[in-house]
A and B are shown apart, each in its own frame.
Chain A
Amino acid sequence: MPHGTFARFIWPSFLAMILFIALPIASVAIQSFFVEHEQVMREVENCGPFKCTKVLQVDTEASRALKEEAPLGKFNGLGTYTNRGHLAFSELGEIWASSASFADFIVGLYNLPFYKALFFTVTYTFVVTPFVLIFGLLIALGVNRLPGITRGPTIFASLLPMIVTPLIGGLILFWMVDADGILGATLQIIFDDPDLSLKASAPLTWIMLIVYGIWHSTPFAFVVFYAGLQTVPQDTIEAAKIDGASRFQQVRYVVVPYMTPLLVFVVLMQLMDNFRVLEPIVAFSAEAKARSLSWIIMNDLMGQDKLFGSAAATSMMTIIGVGILLTPVLIKTWRDFNRKVV
């Protein structure tokens, strides 16, 4: 297709992506170097019946004028990145100097908001993803053995946790594990502890969110693997059987290698989607015990005083995190492409 025709076909889509994805990333990068204006203070004399006192007051008029003049705030360089709410270099140094062991250092690190969110996000991503792969494959293998007539309804039911809005799926589970809900109350009876609440302890909250993540994403892996299973050549499996492979060996050495491209695809999608985890934390009201990078960005933007600079700095570091996750895939694609061209 000639360049001109190509351009005529692609420009609306291209423009949309430039305007609403590429430019916002640039805008985030710029915002992250600025910080909100401090309030303009003015000394006011406050005279009572006996004496006069001098009080500092916020000059709202001047503050607003300043904000209108420079909505970005004032230039802060990398200051936002290194402050306590983000990479916290100086606090990091203190914790390193004062902690006796490496475990101490980790505990100290965990008390800093950015690292706390990073811990949770990375843990969530790298715990949910393998479980999703394993459960997805098991269910796909299981459904593949079912008689044909029951497969359709099974797939229908299996799709629901993935299709339903994440916030809504999270809420449904949250109401069930509530101390008064059916699962929460059952757990209290099982563990014989009437005060047991999944919301009260940090490890239980983490487990709850991770279980939600697995529940939500397993259908995706299942459907992709199930479709992949339909294309595995039966001859190869027959040959493996004749050579005396057990069922497990057939799966391990024939089916799984055959589905490696699908596996890579699912891992890639899962890493991208789990790294942005946000809705379950809102649905489970888990922010006291578990915060993700997305959640702290949202929190900065939600308040009365919007902390654009702080949100932008966290966003930039999140984008760098996504970049690190994607690098292996991009390198592989680049190699494949060059091989194809040469």
Chain B
Amino acid sequence: MSAAASRSPRLLNWFTVSMIVFWLMIAIGPFVWTVWGSFKVQGDFFSKADWRNAIYGVFTLAETGSTFTGNGYYGAWIQEGFWRNVLNSGVVVIFTVIISLTLGTLGGYALARSGYRYAFWLLIAALVFRAMPHITLVSGYLLPFFEWNLWGRLTTTIMVLVAINQPFTLWMLHSFFLNIPKDMDESAMVDGCTRFQAFRHVIIPVMWPGVITTGLFSFLLAYNDFAITSMLLSSENQTMVPKIASFLTQVREQGNVMFAVSAVVSAIVPLFFLVLFFQRQIVSGLTAGAVKG
């Protein structure tokens, strides 16, 4: 009995550790491989003959004279003008985050403090809206946007992303505001503040942790979006993700896979730092909805 009890955890520990190591290899391995490979030439990145070429860069050395090359990055950023798409992404993401947080904090606060039935129904409607596949909404936008000459502009895309973000933002901020005690703003109102003044002077100073967490997810939604940005932006206004998608068709014709690889790695870098610095907020944000909802 005692032998079995002591042996079982060791076996279990061994199993646990190997499972986690295996998972980590699956989770992060592809990224490491691609980041490393992006500094090689195509012959090494797709090294069918000997996979070690991708690590040591045999063809890279033969073609460029060094085992690392920035040719892919030069081709993508300068030759193909990827920097313009990076700027567009920056504009879209920053404005989407700021506007959705502004609307979301006001709405989320109202939903958290209203005891009426319609607040509940609004949240349920938001949940249903959250479930709508984005491409179905796009098929609703396209025709009117063409007719009213709104198609292709960054402002239109920002507004659409803000709206699509709202259901999630409302849910999240609503649950954060429920955590802020009602007494705080109510005592301010007893002291003669209006509701808005109470919000301004009492709630805003303490709401930042929740707002930052929600902002991270708004950022991810705007940054990662493919369906909306690829369908609603004209080619000169494209953000990074649709540009990478259009690299793909181009690559099939011209064979510059390394441009696409470098662009992909460039787009991962900001996300990497986002997770690095805001890991705790992302984890708490993912679970906030679950624990409350």
Contacts and interface: CB of A to CB of B under 8 A. Distances in A.
A180 B48 contact: yes
Nearest to B15: A142
Contacts of B143: 27, 31, 71-72, 308
B140 A294 contact: no
Interface stretch (B25-33, B62-70, B77-85, B205-213): B25-33
Given A168-B244, A265-B290, A182 B33 contact: yes
Contacts of B146: 71
Interface string A291-312: 0011001101110001010011
Given A28-B140, A163-B220, A166-B224, A13 B120 contact: no
Nearest to B147: A71
A282 B27 contact: no
A297 B136 contact: yes
Which of B17, B126, B137 is the most central at the interface, judged by chain A CB atoms within 10 Å of its CB?
Answer: B137
A163 B195 contact: no
Nearest to A337: B120
A245 interface: no
Given A165-B226, A227-B287, A322-B132, A142 B139 contact: no
B275 A156 contact: yes
Interface string B254-293: 0001001100100110011011100100111011011101
A201 interface: no
A27 B146 CA distance: 13
Nearest to B102: A12
A27 B27 contact: no
A133 interface: no
Nearest to B112: A1
B125 to A, nearest CB: 8
A51 interface: no
B116 A6 contact: yes
A168 B289 contact: no
Given A10-B107, A186-B51, A312 B140 contact: yes
A181 B46 contact: yes
A19 interface: yes
Contact of B227 (A23, A298, A341): A298
B23 interface: yes
Which of B17, B109, B140, B286 is the most central at the interface, judged by chain A CB atoms within 10 Å of its CB?
Answer: B140
Interface string A40-77: 00000000000000000000000000000001100000
B141 interface: yes
Say what secondary structure dominates the interface of chain B: helix
B44 to A, nearest CB: 11
A256 interface: no
B130 A165 contact: no
Contact of B133 (A172, A215, A318, A329): A318
Contacts of A262: 290-291
A138 interface: yes
Given A175-B34, A319-B136, A326-B128, A223 B283 contact: yes
Contacts of B169: 13
Given A31-B143, A165-B224, A173-B30, A21 B133 contact: no
Interface string A117-158: 000000000000000000100110111011000001011111
Contacts of A319: 132-133, 136
B124 A185 contact: no
A138 B19 contact: yes
A28 B135 CA distance: 11
Contacts of A72: 143
Contact of B289 (A180, A265, A302): A265
Contacts of A173: 30
Contacts of A5: 110, 195
A185 B48 contact: yes
A20 B131 contact: no
Contacts of A213: none
B73 interface: no
A16 B159 contact: yes
Interface string B111-151: 10111110110101111111111111111111110110000
Contact of B45 (A71, A169, A175): A175
A25 B132 contact: yes
Given A12-B103, A25-B137, A159 B30 contact: no
B132 A160 contact: no
A20 B163 contact: yes
Contacts of A152: 279
A240 interface: no
Given A27-B140, A186-B51, A17 B129 contact: yes
Given A20-B164, A146-B20, A168-B244, 20 more contacts: A6-B116, A9-B199, A17-B125, A20-B137, A21-B129, A27-B144, A135-B23, A141-B16, A155-B283, A157-B28, A160-B275, A165-B268, A172-B33, A182-B51, A223-B283, A224-B287, A294-B136, A297-B138, A308-B142, A326-B131
22 contacts: A1-B115, A8-B196, A10-B110, A13-B103, A13-B104, A17-B125, A20-B160, A27-B140, A27-B141, A156-B275, A156-B276, A160-B271, A163-B220, A165-B226, A171-B244, A182-B51, A223-B286, A272-B130, A272-B131, A315-B135, A319-B133, A326-B127
4 cross-chain pairs, A with B, having the tightest CB-CB distances, nearest first: A24-B140, A20-B163, A13-B107, A9-B110
Interface of B: 8, 12-13, 16-17, 19-20, 23-24, 26-28, 30-31, 33-34, 45-48, 51, 54, 102-104, 106-107, 109-111, 113-117, 119-120, 122, 124-144, 146-147, 159-160, 162-164, 166-167, 169-170, 195-196, 199, 220, 223-224, 226-227, 231, 241, 244-245, 248, 257, 260-261, 264, 267-268, 271-272, 274-276, 279, 282-284, 286-287, 289-291, 293
